[in-house]
Amino acid sequence: MERTQIEAVVARFDTAGRPARIAPVGNGWINDTFRVETEGAATPDYILQRINHRVFRDVERLQNNIERVTSHIRRKLAERGTEELDRRVLRLIPTREGKLFHFDGESYWRMTIFIDRSVTHETITPELAELTGRAFGDFQAMLSDIDEGALGETIPDFHNIEFRLEQFRDALESDAHGRAGEMRALSDELLARAGRMCRVERLHREGKLPKRVTHCDTKVNNLLFDEEGRPLCVIDLDTTMPGYVLSDFGDFIRTGANTGAEDDADLDRVDVNMDIFRSFSKGYIDSAASFLTPCERENLPFGAQLLTYMQAVRFLTDYLDGDTYYKILHPTHNRQRSWAQFRLLQRLEAREREMNDFIAGL
C-alpha cells in the first residue's frame, strides 16, 4: 500500500499533530498494524490498524465491543486512582465524523493512541510471567461486572472446540488441495482426542462452567510492559467477548510456556517450561481467585491442553483449506505450525498430573 494512501486514511481520524513517519509494527497473523509518528513531543504517536474484514465480519460490533471494554476498564482504573490512564488502557481515536472506524471503500481502519516507552515480549522470564498472570487475571476481574449482554461475539464460536472440529472434519472431507493424505497421521492423532477435548462444552451445557468476558488471545505479545518490566496495558482486544477463563489461561501457557516457537521446525525444541507455568499460575490465581469457581480452577491445566489442541486443529484446517486464514511465511507454514502445536500438546499431556497438583496446592 502506498504511503500517500495511508496518509489519506490517517487524515480521516481526529488526531493531534502532523504525521511525520508511518512504519509497520508487530507480527500478528490477522491485522496490519502501523505506527504513525507525529512531529514534535507535544502530540502522541498513534497506532493505525487495518482490520481483517474476512475474519471480523461485523466491524461495527467489533469496535463497539472495544469501546465498551476500554471505557469500562478506564472507569475501574480511575476508581482505583491509577495515573496515566492512556498508558494503562487502550484509547480509541474516533474519526473526524465521530465514528469508531473508517471505511475507505475497500478496507476498514481504526486508530488508538500509541503507548510509548512500552515493550512487548515474544518470550518471557518466570518473573515477568507472574506479573503477566496477575495482569490477565486483573483484566478478567475488572470486566467481571460488565453488562455481558452488551458485548457481541466478534467471531461467532471463536473458541468453541465442537465448531472447530466440525470445520476440521469438513476440510478433511473436501480435501480441496489434496493435502489430507500427507496429514493423515496428525489428523488421526487429533481426531482421537476430540471427545475428550469437547468436555469443556459439555461442562458448560451442564451448567458447571460459566461464560465470562475473556480476552481470547492472551499471547505473550498482547501485553505491553514498561521499560522497568512492569505490565502496562492489555492490547489486541478484537476477541474480548464472552468465553471461558480456560481460554485465557490456556492461550498464555500455549505461547508463553513453550520452550520452542509456535511454529518451530525443530520439534525437539518444543516443551513446557514449568517455571513459567508455575509463575503464571501463581500470578493469575492471585488476581482471579475472587471470582473463579472450583470447576474453573481445577480445569486450568486442561485449558492449556485445549487451547494448544484447538490451535493445532485450526492451523491444520487452514492448511487443508489452502491457507486462507492465517498469514503464512512459506508454503508449508501451517503444516509446520500444526505439528509444533501437536508436539506441545503431547508435552502438556505428559505433565498433566504435575500441573494439576501444582494448581491444587496454590
- List 28, 94, 210, 242, residue binding Mg ion (CB under 5 A): 28
Residue 348 falls in which region: left (phi positive, over 0), alpha (psi -120 to 50) or beta: alpha
Q: In terms of CB distance, is 236 or 248 closer to ligand ADP?
A: 236
Q: Is 116 exposed, middle or buried (0-12, 13-18, 19+ CB in 10 A)?
A: exposed
Residues in the interface with ligand GN1 (CB under 6 A) total: 11
Q: In terms of CB distance, is 251 or 321 closer to Mg ion?
A: 251
Q: Is 132 in the site for Mg ion (CB under 5 A)?
A: no
Q: In terms of CB distance, is 19 or 272 closer to ligand GN1?
A: 272
- d(CA 234, CA 225) in angstroms, rounded, equals 9
Residues making contact with ligand ADP (CB under 6 A): 25-26, 28, 30-31, 33, 47, 90, 112, 114-115, 118, 120, 221-222, 224, 235-236
Contact between 139 and 234 (Cβ < 8 Å): yes
Q: Which does 114 bind (CB under 5 to 8 A by kind): Mg ion, ligand ADP, ligand GN1, none?
A: ligand ADP
Contact between 189 and 342 (Cβ < 8 Å): yes
Q: Which does 274 bind (CB under 5 to 8 A by kind): Mg ion, ligand ADP, ligand GN1, none?
A: none
Q: Is 28 in the site for ligand GN1 (CB under 6 A)?
A: yes
Q: Is 347 in the site for ligand GN1 (CB under 6 A)?
A: no
Stretch that binds ligand GN1, among 28-36, 99-107, 270-278, 287-295 (CB under 6 A): 28-36
C-alpha grid cell for residue 289?
A: 481467585
Q: Is 336 in the site for Mg ion (CB under 5 A)?
A: no
Stretch that binds ligand GN1, among 130-138, 187-195, 199-207, 231-239 (CB under 6 A): 231-239
Contact between 256 and 223 (Cβ < 8 Å): no
- d(CA 54, CA 51) in angstroms, rounded, equals 9
Q: Is 55 in the site for ligand GN1 (CB under 6 A)?
A: yes
Cell 518451530: give the residue.
264
Contact between 355 and 277 (Cβ < 8 Å): yes
Stretch that binds ligand GN1, among 34-42, 113-121, 168-176, 234-242 (CB under 6 A): 234-242
C-alpha grid cell for residue 297?
A: 480452577
Q: Is 360 exposed, middle or buried (0-12, 13-18, 19+ CB in 10 A)?
A: exposed
- d(CA 47, CA 74) in angstroms, rounded, equals 19
- d(CA 153, CA 172) in angstroms, rounded, equals 27
CB of 28 to Mg ion, least distance (A): 4
Q: In terms of CB distance, is 31 or 218 closer to ligand ADP?
A: 31
Cell 500509541: give the residue.
114
- List 32, 130, 217, 323, residue binding ligand GN1 (CB under 6 A): 217
CB of 120 to Mg ion, least distance (A): 8
279, 263, 24: which is closest to 132 by C-alpha?
Answer: 279
C-alpha grid cell for residue 309?
A: 489442541
Q: Is 222 in the site for Mg ion (CB under 5 A)?
A: yes
Q: Which does 112 bind (CB under 5 to 8 A by kind): ligand GN1, Mg ion, ligand ADP, none?
A: ligand ADP
Note the residues at the interface with ligand GN1 (CB under 6 A): 28-30, 55, 217, 219, 236, 238-239, 262, 311
